Every structure is written in structure tokens, then in C-alpha cells.
Structure 1
Amino acid sequence: MSDRQDFRFIRTDRPTRDDALLTVADVLAEPVLQAGVPEVLVGGAALDAAVRWVHVSDSVGVARLLDGGELLLSTGAGWPTAPEELRDFAVGLCQAGIAGVVVELGSGQARIPEAVVEVCAERGLALIALTSEVKFVAVTEAVHRALIAAQTMALRERQHLHELFTALSLRGAPADVVVAETARALGAPVVLENLAREVIAHETLRMPVAEALAQLRVADRVPVQARGVRWGTLLALPGPVHPAGRLTVLEQGATALAFGCLADGGDSEWSLLAQRGLIDDLLGARFASPDDIEARLATSGLMLTGRHCHGIVARGTEPAVQLAYRAAQAGVAVVAAPVGGDDVALLSLPASVPLTDALAADLVGPDRTVFVGPAADDVLGLLASVRAARDLAGSDRADAGPRVRRVDDRPLERFVASLRDDHRLLAHSERMLAPVVAHDRERRGDLLDVLAALVAHPGNRSAAAAASHLSRSVFYQRLTLIGDLLGADLDDGETIAALHLALLARRRTSPPA
């Protein structure tokens, strides 16, 4: 029985207030009521009250016959006349939970008593006076017809939602896809949190992420749970009314997410999804403003203000989760995910804890090489840091082995990183290397690799030959060919520096995957 309660899809009971199929304002807009020339005495937010039925009565004891959500139509003929009795009568209507009161002025009441107006204003109950005669039976028929039409639409929408989210569950759609479909169905931002309140996935439509996350306190929310196990919460910010009910849509999305957790054996994929999404968005600069990324980092426990941060790349065979575990043990906040064949991580350390070589090596684990970007204290600096670390990893041609390499120790690479998008640097690279690039492309050659080995070991050609895995004689032949193609003296220091700059710029136009 508990499982069935967790996975309810379609409810066919009488509409509730949460369904909000019609509001007082909707009813007031009906032509049959407009014909009565309505005057709104108490409106505003009160007109948003949900109407689930219409009741016609002039009885002073009508309150005890009401269940809540009704729109009361009355002429006021049977109402009491003493002010205190009128107040008690109006309070009783409010306590019955009705949606509003429509009074036809005329034979019953020439004007709505002031005591009733005061109570309705105090309690926020919609109060409308009809200044021309209407047939209440016509009003009832029109409203009931509209309610039935709205119910029919709601059932159709629930069936559509059922089919949509069932299809997502059967396809094994990841959490971010389910969240995105839920947001589109609601027309409002939707966020998925785990039990630690970390943001796992979000779809904020056109709202800035930071703004959406700041408004979660006013969001509707439903648990993601099944079979007595809860994995997180699905939240939706305020948005337009949905024919099937906003909570119904949110429940459908939560159910699809719960099915995914059951199929995967838990929410272990959620954290990986969140961290991979963060790193992908940061590297791809897919964020409207730095505040958006900073807000998302904060939900993962990685703070920037008052701390110093680094982007790093860890190379070697070990799951990224181990890096996260070691970082937690060392009191270092981390967001890490595999990118290509490496682990890319963002680290946030207290201002008093420098990222020493020993600490960096301990975080990534034994037998791994770590490439460390420069320190940063904001989002753009962190983006530059992780890009620089990836560039250094991409240009690394030394023998594999556990070691720490820092961008700060490579001033030329850091200089190129600062000019990443400068068209003059790219033009220099293309112009200077064009003959060598064309030769390699046409003959499937290795001259670029040989040149890279040369600039990496400018004073030691034996080491450069070894790094390029060529014999000394073959290596020197390649150098002679490069010099002829470029018309350059490869013993000239300025030429070697210019070629080194060109090679670094070329690698940046094709960063590692």
C-alpha cells in the first residue's frame, strides 16, 4: 500500500483547492455574471481564490451546509439585520472556507451591509455586488459547465503527464532531463536537491540561476522517495496555473526521479551528474553571469569568498570519487568530474592553507600526476585556473609518473593563457607554423611533435630526441627539414621562443577533450 501511495499518477476525485481549476476572477469574467454589472467590494488577492462549486442560498444558517471552496450566490433576503449578527454570519462564511460571496442587490438587499463588507475585507474573502438582476440558475449552469470543462482538461493533462513521465522512466532518462521536462511542463524554474540540499540539477528557463536559487524558500516542494527511502526534494518556483495542478506535475516529476533511483540502486549518480554539469558549464563558459556559477558552487559546498581556489587536472587510473573523499578528509572543498581521460577538479582551501606540492599529491593519490592552475578568488579567475591546468596537461610530454606540475612554474604558458582570445596571438601561430602544419597534414608527418620536443628541451637536443622517441640522427634530419620549411635558424634563441609561443597558442585553439 505504501508503494502505491508513492507512485500515484492520476487522481479522479472532485477538484480540490490545489487544482485551482477556476478562480473567483474566472467566474466573474463569465458573460452571465458580467450581465449583472458586478461591483467588486473586496477584491485583490481574494479574487484568486479557487472555486470548486457554486451554491445558492439566502439562509442565515448556510455556513453549516458548506464544505469549502464554494462561491455563494445570494440576494441577502434571509440575512440578519443587527450589525453584530451580520458580523457573526460573515465570520461563519469565512470559517466555512468559501471562495467568495456574490450578492444581487434589489429586493433582498439595497446595499451590502457595512458589517459584512468589513469582515470580508478583514478576512480576505471576495465580495461582489451585482447591480443588475441575473438568473442565478444561469450563473450556476455556466460555472458548472466551466468547471466540468476544466476538469476534463485536467484529466487530459494528467494523462499527458502520465505518458510523458512514464516514457522518461522507461527510457532511463537522467535526472537533469526529468528536471528540465518538469520545468517546461510547469513553465517555471525547477530545482532538484539531495538530502544535503546540494543542487543536483536545475532548469531555470530564462531566470538567472543565482536568482532562482535565492528564491527556493518560496518554492513548492515534493519529496523524491519510494519504498520508504527518500533521496531528495524536487522544488518549483511560483509560476502559471497548470490545468492538472502544479503539485500534480511536480509529483509526476518526483515519481520519475524516484524510479530512476530505484533502477540505479540509489542516488550515487546524482552527485557525479551535478559536479560534471558544473565543470562542463564552467569550462564551456555556459553561464549568464559569474554569480550563477558561484551560486551553484556554493550549493556544492565550494565557496570562493575569503578562500583561495585552484583548478587542477589529475592524470592516472583512479576514480574521481577518491579525490573527493581525500579532499573531504583534508578539509578541502572540491568539485570533481572526469573529463576526457583525466579528472578535472576545482579546489577551495582556507586562506591559511596553501596548496603545497605535498598536499596536491596527497589529494590526487599515489601514482598520479597533478597539474595545478594558479590561485584564484573569483569565478573568472577559477575558470582561467582550470583552463591553464588543462592546457599544461595537454602539452605535457614528459614520462608518466607521480609528480606535481604547476602553471606558475611555466611563465610562458601562463602568459599565453592570459592572451587566450587575442587574434594577434592566433595569427602569429598560424603564420609561423603553417609550412610545418601543411607538411604533416599532407605526409602524415611528425614535425610538430619534433618541434615541441625541441622547445621543451632547448639546451639539450639529446633529451629532445629521447622525448620525441627518435634516434639522434633521425631527430637531426627532422630539425633540418623544419628549418628549411620555416626558413629559420633553430639555433637562434629568439626564433625558438617565437616557435614555443606559436606552439602553445596552437594547442589552446584545440584544447584537450
Structure 2
Amino acid sequence: MPIRLQDVLNHPTLTAADPVIRAGAGNAARTQLRWVHSSEILDIAPLLDGGELLLTGGEALALASEERRITYIRQLAERGVAALAIETGVALPSLPSSMVAAAEAAGLPVIELRKVVPFVSVMQAINSSLVSESVSQLRQADEASHAMAVELAHGGSLDRILAVLAGITHAEVTLVSLTGATLASAAPARDAPDAHDAADAAGSTAESAPTLADHARLIHIDVPVRGILAAQLLLRVPPGEDENLARTAGKRSVDILALAMLQRMSPGLREVAGAALMRAIDSGSQPWRLQQLASAAGIPASAPLVAVVVRSEISQQLRTSVEQHLARTARSHATYVDNAELLAVASLAGEASEASRQGLLAGLMELPAMAGTLAAVGPVVAGIADAPWSVAEAKLTLELADSPRHARPGADGAYSPVIDAEAFAVERLAVQALDPDQRRNFVRRQLGALLDHDAQRNSRLLDTLATWLDCGCNTAHAARELHVERQSMHQRLRRIFDLCGGDPRDTGRLAALHLAARLAKLA
């Protein structure tokens, strides 16, 4: 019998903490647990597997920004974590309202622990019960895997193989391609409509589907074939059914599904050549080799293209979202995941390559899956032979833009995790052409008095100057960017001009000051 969140909250080891559900109370009664884990690490989501009750003392959350707290909640919800329990006290007197609102929106139960309890004792007591339950789930999952293997050996279709999994988990099971197309699906036997009542069943299903969708738990499992992500297994578990069994059985079935796909729809030459092409680009292979692989991967060797580099602990999970976006915005593409780095190249429309690149960049910024990651879109190059340069420039951009002060805010004021390498063209050139001493000396000669003033007065005139220059010397625009009154902006500029030898707009020094201000940020 599944162990639910409400059962755990009533356990003596947790009742001592005086728990109160602050968000997701409607889901608490039916939320099932797979494990209890504790961590103070805010980047813990990629290390979790879904179904956990996560315990945290709140120290790291107390020091985090509001944006980071909200990201933390969203990442846990996206990972399928069952619930989050936060201890309040001296470090974190109460749960931030922004976190509670984000959790409520994401459907993630959040519990406030108002008294201190030893997390070790909680985990030992509850996990021992969960282990006993997981043994039974593993046995049933193995039975499902064996039955699916038998179906495969007898030549059963993908639908029939999934029907075995659906029958044991009582879940609707769907296998989808990376582009979102349904490859196969199955429903539990009790949900299958009778042939004589198909019309009535279809109408009934249409009416009831929204209700089921609202309450069912959707579990995503990646299905790689020959090491290449080929599909996703989706299990929609109705309320009251065992989610942990569905998750365990689904993961146990991955190898069987990979074999079935290999027999019926094995990765084509394009997919295999695409992965080989990305490895060759990343290692700097000779142009003739890149042209050879590009042809096999369906990428025109002489078409303009752009590189995309994504760095994340969940890069493999992001691959599907990125590939779906590239399929919509690019003529052709290839991707490859190497540990925490996702590499991609996308060929663009030759007659409007820059416009295509901007559309690709804007679309990446809007992908919900990109939250909590850092990505860069490289410059456009004329063909596949120059793809290594676009990849290298995108990687360099990520090295230069590894802090929020280098990012560009979006329309809603939030900083986008996707960075345009062209916005860092000056920095990329300076880093590659000048050694650190040359850069420091140049900045010092141009802005020495201003830097000394900031250091002595703890002011931020350098940031003001950089913003003003980035805004094309438009004082009103710069004031809005810095959230200051225009009069205050004029006063700051007068002080800056005094320190820099006068208003640079009437001299030939404007470009030099702008370059120095941007190089100073690199330091």
C-alpha cells in the first residue's frame, strides 16, 4: 500500500516538529512518497529522482535571493519531488510568501516545520517503511519487464508492449518522439472502450478527460537508444494508483522499449551522424570530415548556421525541449550531450540568416525548461567548416557571462539564462587579442580616477558610466535602466565627466571609454 504524505506528517518523528502545510494542501492527501531526503543544497533538484519528501533546515534559503528561492521551488516541482518541508527558526523565521505562492502555482506541497527535530531520526524511521514498500514495487516492476520482454520476443507491437506496462501500473502509457509525435500508447484494460460502445465511450472520455488530466500524476522517463535520447515514456497515473510502482516499472522497461524501437524504428543515419558531427565539431576535426558528416546528418555544408551551448546539471533532460524548438525554427539541426553540456548546431535560412538567428534566440529565452541553466547562442558562420568557431565563441561567452551583472534582462525585468554571444563581441575580441596585463593597463589609463573614486567612496560610478554608454549616451534611457531620477543621473554624469576629463561626446575618446568600461567588468 503506498505511503502518502499525510501518513508521514502524522508519524511521531514529524509530529514533534509541529508541521503545517503552507502550500499545496489540496495535493497532500493523495501525494505518495518514494523516499525521505534532507539537504541544504539549493541545486539539489538534478540529483533527485522524483517522489521524495525533501527536508531542509532553511539556512541556505535564508541567504538566497527571492529569485533563487522561486527557482528552487520550480526546479523541485519540475523534478517531480513529492513535497518540501522547511524548518523555520532563527535563520528563517517564516516561509517567504513568494516561495509559498510559487509552490501553490506549481502544485508542490510545502510544509513548515515550526520546531526542531533530528532529520536523521525522521529519515531512518520513515525510510525503513518505504524500503519494505519498494521491495514489493521492484518485484512487480520486474514482472512487468519480463512480460514486456516476452511480448517483444513474440513480435508484439509497441502498443502491445506498452499495454503490459499499462495493465500492471493502471496508468495511461504513451511513448512519444523528441518532436512530440506519439509512437505508441496504451491504457489500462478497464479504460479501454468496448467495441460495441465506441461512440458512447468516445463522448464520455471527451467529457471526463479534463478532470482526469487535472488530478493524474504525469511521470516522464527518457528512453535512449544506443546512447542517443530517442523518445520519452509518459505515464499518466490516476489518483489512488501507486505512482512509485509506475515510476519504478517505467524505468525498468526502458531497455525493453529501446530494443523494440531499435528493431522497428532504429535511429536513422541522420541521428547517428548528427551525434558524430557534434563530437567532431567539439574536438575541432578537419573541415573535410565535418562536411562529410554534415551531409549524412542532413545539414547543408555551405548553409549559414549557428551554434548553441547549454550548461546545466540536467542537460540530458533539456535536450528534448531544445530539439523541439530547433525543429520549429531551423532548417535542420544536430545535438549532442556531454556530461553537463548540451551542444547544438542549427542551419538557418540563407536569405535571412540573422533574422532566423534572432528568432531562434528569442524562442530559447521563452522555453520554461531553460530556467536555472546558462546558455549561449554563437555567431552566424557561413558553413559547417566554421562551426567549431561558433561553438568556441559560444563557450567563451558563457565563461565571460557567468554572473547576473553580464546578463540582459527580459521584458519582465527578469534575467534571461540565454545569452547572445554577439552582445559580447567586444569582450571576446579583447580576451583573445590582449593579455590580462594589457587589459588592466588600458582600463587604468582610461578610467583610473573613476576607479579610485569608486574604491574610496564605495560608489558605483563605473556602473553608471557603462550603462549610459550601453544606452547610446541616452541619459533618460540610462536613468530608467538604473532606476534613478533623471536629475540624479545628470549629477552622476557631471561627476563622471569631471573624473574622466570632460564630456566624451565632444571628443574622440568615447569609443575608448566604452571599451574600458566593458573591459573593467571582466575584472
Indicate the TM-score class for this superposition, using the shorter chain for normalisation: 0.3 to 0.5
Please report the TM-score for the alignment, with normalisation by the length of structure 2.
Answer: 0.34
Write 1 or 2 for the structure with the bigger share of helix: 2
Q: Rg bigger for which structure?
A: 1
